[in-house]
Amino acid sequence: MNNDINKIYTVDENGFPLIKVLMRTYGEHKVLTEEAIYSFLMQDYPNKKLIILNTHKDCLKLDKNYNNIEVINKPLGLDNMSHKTHYLIKQVEKGLFCVLDDDDLLLPYHLSSLYKICKKYKLKTDTIFRCTPGRYRFYNMKTEGRKIVEG
């Protein structure tokens, strides 16, 4: 794992790899979901995309079109959070991604912090990360290996 992270991933014109944020929602917490989306939009990390899976019978519609937010309305066939997560992961070809629950908020530097940790530890493709304060968990989706980093 000697490669620089910017050589591993497709990067934007400023050298930042795309980080995809996956959100599952059922539509029962509309205000919380809107706040979660807003916390994504306020991220200081420049190359990001939010993919929202809505499994409620009513379609989720945003107030305007965002070029870095994709909404998938799929009301049938995904019974639990695990099925929803696996469905979303299949939508992500490769690269860095993390999960945002519809009742969570991201601090404005969340994605930047995750990028710095990935760069520091030279984590490779197909990495999903979850974090709790001071602790990051990284999973390699190809090897299913897990790495916990205290930070």
**Is 120 strand, coil or helix?**
helix
Q: Which strands sit side by side in the sheet containing 19-25, from one edge to the other?
A: 69-73, 48-54, 19-25, 96-101, 127-132, 135-140, 145-150
Q: Does residue 124 register a pLDDT over 70?
A: no
pLDDT higher at 68 or 18: 68
List, as own/partner pairs, every contact residues 109-115 make where C-beta atoms lie below 8 angstroms and the sequence separation is at least 24, other chains included. Answer: 109/43, 109/44, 109/45, 110/43, 110/45, 111/19, 111/21, 111/43, 111/44, 111/45, 111/48, 112/43, 112/44, 112/45, 113/151, 114/19, 115/5, 115/16, 115/17, 115/19, 115/45
* pLDDT at res. 128: 57
* pLDDT at res. 5: 53
Q: And the tokens for 33?
A: 């979901």
**pLDDT, tens digit (0-9, with 9 covering 90-100), for 22-52:** 999 887 778 999 999 999 999 999 999 999 9
DSSP letter (8 states) at residue 11: B
Q: Does residue 61 register a pLDDT over 60?
A: yes
CA distances from 125 to 8, 21, 64, 84, 97 (A): 7, 15, 32, 21, 10
Which one of 26-30, 109-113, 147-151 scores highest in mean pLDDT?
109-113
Mean pLDDT of 100-109: 90
pLDDT higher at 78 or 16: 16
> In sequence order, which residues have a C-beta less than 8 Å from that of residue 42 and are 6 or more positions away?
106, 108
